[in-house]
Amino acid sequence: MTSETVISHSIFSDFDISLFKSGKHFKLYEKMGNTQLEIDGQAGTYFAVWAPNALELSVMGSFNQWNRQSHKLSARWDGSGIWEGFIPGVQVGAVYKYAIKMRKGGYIEKGDPYAEQWQIPPETASVVSEFDYKWSDKKWMSSRKEKNALDAPISVYEVHTGSWKRKGEDGNRSLSYRELAADLVPYVKEMGFTHVELMPVMEHPFFGSWGYQITGYFAPSSRYGSQEDFAFLVNEFHKNGIGVFLDWVPSHFPGDVHGLFHFDGTSLYEHSDYRLGYHPDWNSYIFNYGRNEVRAFLISNALYWLERYHIDGIRVDAVASMLYLDYSRKEGQWIPNKYGGRENLDAISLLREMNQAIYKEFPDVQCIAEESTSWPMVSKPVSVGGLGFGMKWMMGWMNDMLAFFKREPIYRRFHQNEITFSLVYAFSENFMLPLSHDEVVHGKGSILSRMPGDNWQKFANVRTLYSWMFFHPGAKLLFMGNEFAQKSEWMHDHSLSWNELNNESHKGISELVKSLNKLYKNEPALYELSFDYKGFEWIDYGDSKNSIIAFYRKGKDDNSLLVIGNFGVKAHDVYELGVDEEGKFKEVFNSDEKQFGGSGFVNGALLETVNFAKHSRDNTLSLRIPPMGFAVLKHQKTI
């Protein structure tokens, strides 16, 4: 083949180009990359790529013996920087890269930023593909508005697809998307989670990055199967009533030679100034959020996963690193904004525009921010000055709780504020409480390994922590392995330690999580007003001597639950608590039940109040409080 076999052709309208230049084209995946066409009776592939500083650009691949010269694309005349052309005979499955002649001399070979399929790493080329999948999740899609709503129960199971479970002759082969559909979907359903959150599935060259260093933003990783296989996995979750969130990483990308870095020989996707374009924490590169074409790339990518794969929401990684110009930088290593401040105005603008675009197109999804600072109004609408996210991870609660639970119970009386402080600001944002992968890696140990005391106390501490998470206002998230208190910290090269479920203590934690999820979904008081101060009311937070707290969780229609938490090791056979209601209470949950590995210190019979004022309430209830555990009671209304 010669360069004449590239037919001059475009699928861009003038309006497309205008939107692209202004950063307002949010469906670039319909135009860029590779597209199967038939022109003048010839089937082939149309290619389009943005490389404004290239002197020459050609497609090289399996169809032309990787010849840099034979299939040259044409630069558009309109200053858009887009190179394009139609190559007859190039079929689905062809492998390719772009050969780019740089202004500074020499060639650079790059994968396609918009490719929807890549070779299996460590191979680095893009693949010509055409998505073909017949969805059967209509029932879920028509009802997910209610399932993703802020007044619905949202309990998320965070998963790394490559290490959740492994098979193969050596027992160390990652499951495929279809194998995950067969094993993971029924497991998540059995455990009672409402959603899964998949750590980044986008193509990434280094497995040890866990997917957070992406080269193929528009492609599910080929390590686990095809595009259709990934769609099948999502479809199976939906058919079983489970929503799917994806981790999404607009904060940085790696410097791999075949990726976005110096794409046309210049700083194209990344900011050219090292102080703005390089991330010291992750040895990676920061998108140029002020460049229109880059903004269109990122927002198009977010929308792509929601449209193409019916994804129910995105969790945006490392938002704090985007918001602050001085994030992880010392004095002199960053540039103030035009007002002299540390806020990254371009990143703020991008996040707001992205959230507005997503909720306009998909009002029934969730956008969740992993934002670790006190930045105000992250989960408030853009119209009132917020960033426009639906929810934000409650990192303060997580840090306080892990610090508190490391303490020996005898000292906890002096740190009661670490339990209660989160309620001071619990309703300032729509919070999701995370016990995520970040808390069980890099030598931090597992959740279980941090707990003090003997073996029984360690597991009791875990039961108490998880109970507090479920009864605290906010959505919930548990990383895989946490649900059965895996002993070791997570290792991405190995399967979870499923054999631990043969141990009664670990099995008890699993049963606890099942019961917590069931109670959470069945009791509107635990979710209907999760982001409203009306949904929570303290009864007593001052019994630091016994490390006990008591409160009401409330729903919309006079639904309420009485919750008592004991963070100490002493059981209380008679504990008096002031309550509003008169009459009988029934215990509906106790984390010390024997099926959970507890001692069985429960309230077995109906409890009845006495007409005696306590805790500024008209009635008093006497109950048993388990050691290191939670009890939940429900008033039995008379008709």
Domains of the chain: 3-127 (2.60.40.10), 533-636 (2.60.40.1180)
pLDDT tens for residues 23-77? 999 999 999 999 999 999 999 999 999 999 999 999 999 999 999 999 999 999 9
Average pLDDT over all residues of the chain:
96
**pLDDT tens-digit map of 154-173:** 999 999 999 999 997 777 89
Nearest of 324, 323, 307, 306 to residue 315 by alpha carbon:
306
Cα–Cα dist 32/409, whole Å: 59
pLDDT at 4: 56
- pTM of the prediction? 0.96
Q: Mean pLDDT over residues 419-424, rounded?
A: 96
DSSP character at residue 531:
T
For residues 389-417, average pLDDT = 96
Q: What's the confidence (pLDDT) of residue 89?
A: 95
What is the phi/psi pair of residue 561, to 5°?
-130, 140
Q: Is the pLDDT of residue 2 over 50?
A: no
pLDDT of residue 3: 47
Q: Which residues are catalytic?
A: 317, 370
| Cβ–Cβ under 8 Å, residues 530 and 523 | no
Banded pLDDT at 146 (limits 50, 70, 90): very high
CA torsion angle for 624, 625, 629, 634 (degrees, to 10)?
Answer: 70
**Residue 98 to residues 74, 104, 204, 257, 264, Cα–Cα distance (Å):** 13, 17, 18, 12, 10
- Mean pLDDT value across residues 249-253: 97
Q: What are the backbone dihedrals phi and psi of residue 56, each rounded to the nearest 5 degrees, phi first? A: -160, 145
Average pLDDT over residues 278-297: 95
pLDDT tens profile 430-475: 999 999 999 999 999 999 999 999 999 999 999 999 999 999 999 9
Do residues 289 and 295 make contact, with C-beta atoms less than 8 angstroms apart? yes
